[in-house]
Amino acid sequence: MAELTRDDVAHLADLARIDLSDAELDRMVGELGVILESVAVVQQSPIADVEPMSHPMPIVNVTRPDEVRPGLTAEQALAAAPAVEQQRFSVPRILDED
């Protein structure tokens, strides 16, 4: 792999619209070099027999089946409401018209 230069880091910073000082550019050359070396090591991994996955652990759907069950009628649901208007809960206005 080609060696990362200070000009390469300055170019990347410019593309990302990141303003780096000279000291930061010098530090980033080493840090980005380590990252690129790590990526190169990972790319060497034997992955030919590995199935692609979205999660490292098996995921099982734990939801229950959707079944229709009896519920409250509108009158039952509104029976304990402090205020009702047109068969709906009535609540105080909290926002202005604006």
The reply to whether 31 falls in a domain is: yes
- Map 15-51 to HEC letters: HCCCCCCHHHHHHHHHHHHHHHHHHHHHHCCCCCCCC
Q: Would the pTM of this model clear 0.85, i.e. be above it?
A: no
The reply to whether 21 falls in a domain is: yes
In the chain, the number of structural domains is: 1
Has residue 2 got a pLDDT over 70? no
Which neighbouring-strand residues pair with 55?
none
Q: pLDDT tens, 26-54? A: 999 999 999 999 999 999 999 888 888 88
Structural domain that includes position 12 = 6-43
The reply to whether 89 falls in a domain is: no
The reply to whether 23 falls in a domain is: yes
The reply to whether 11 falls in a domain is: yes
The reply to whether 12 falls in a domain is: yes
pLDDT top residue among 11 and 53: 11
Has residue 98 got a pLDDT over 80? no
The reply to whether 57 falls in a domain is: no
The reply to whether 36 falls in a domain is: yes
Grouping H, G, I as helix, E, B as strand and the rest as coil, residue 9 is helix
Contact 29, 5 (CB under 8 A): yes
**What confidence score (pLDDT) does residue 22 get?**
93
